[in-house]
């Protein structure tokens, strides 16, 4: 599993890439996933950089921060933004896929790398979630589980147990208002 680092590998920068400004949700701005932020400049960058919301300030692009991630994962090339998170103690790689290229994650070299990373995450009791707009897919070593569309008030719970061939999973949608 790639390690999360706080520094940017030498030679990497956002440049004109601002794909995170399209793909990620920004609650403080009421900006949904998959839509361009109204503060994103056409040449790239943020029009309110000095006063941007905390969730923008703390976001770390996986390609920028992790030297183990190859150049093929540069977001404007791959059409995906990688984000490492810890959610209730669970290590996850969240892959935000551009809805304009919804199958880019299935292309090589991306798909085989996602599967390899999924094996590493599974060993550490974590996994990979992939968003294409509001659609959520869990990428596991042996299969991909499409959990369907998720609204902002929904998350999922899961159960994992060992079987002879490895691990089996059960995922369920959970509404925050339930």
**Residues 1-56 pLDDT 10s:** 343 444 556 678 988 899 999 999 999 999 988 899 999 998 878 999 999 999 99
How many distinct structural domains can be found in the chain? 1
Predicted model pTM: 0.87
**168 located within any domain:** yes
Domain span at residue 65? Answer: 20-175
135: in domain: yes
Residue 4 covered by a domain: no
Length of the chain: 178
Cβ count within 10 A of residue 135:
16
Name which residue leads in pLDDT, 10 or 130: 130
Asked if the structure places residue 166 within a domain, the reply is: yes
Mean pLDDT throughout 59-75? Answer: 94
On whether residue 10 sits in a domain, the answer given is no
pLDDT at 6: 44
Asked if 158 and 171 count as a contact pair (C-beta separation under 8 A), the reply is: yes
Q: Strand 154-163 to strand 166-175: parallel, antiparallel, or no bridges (unpaired)?
A: antiparallel
Secondary structure of residue 163 in the 3-state scheme: strand
Residue 134 domain-assigned (yes or no): yes
């Amino acid at each position: 599993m790639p390690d999360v680092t706080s520094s940017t590998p030498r030679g990497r920068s956002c440049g004109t890439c601002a794909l995170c400004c399209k793909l990620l949700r920004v609650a403080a701005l009421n900006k949904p996933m998959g839509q361009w932020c109204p503060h994103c400049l056409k040449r790239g960058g943020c029009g309110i950089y000095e006063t941007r919301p905390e969730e923008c300030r703390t976001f770390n692009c996986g390609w920028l921060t992790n030297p183990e991630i190859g150049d093929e994962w540069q977001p404007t090339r791959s059409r995906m933004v990688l984000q490492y998170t810890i959610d209730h103690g669970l290590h996850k790689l969240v892959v935000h896929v551009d809805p304009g290229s919804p199958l880019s994650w299935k292309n090589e070299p991306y798909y085989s790398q996602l599967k390899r990373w999924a094996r590493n995450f599974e060993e550490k009791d974590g996994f990979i979630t992939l968003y294409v707009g509001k659609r959520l897919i869990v990428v596991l070593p042996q299969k991909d589980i499409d959990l369907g569309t998720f609204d902002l008030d929904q998350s999922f719970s899961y159960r994992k147990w060992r079987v002879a061939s490895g691990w089996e999973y059960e995922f369920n949608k959970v509404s925050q208002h339930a």
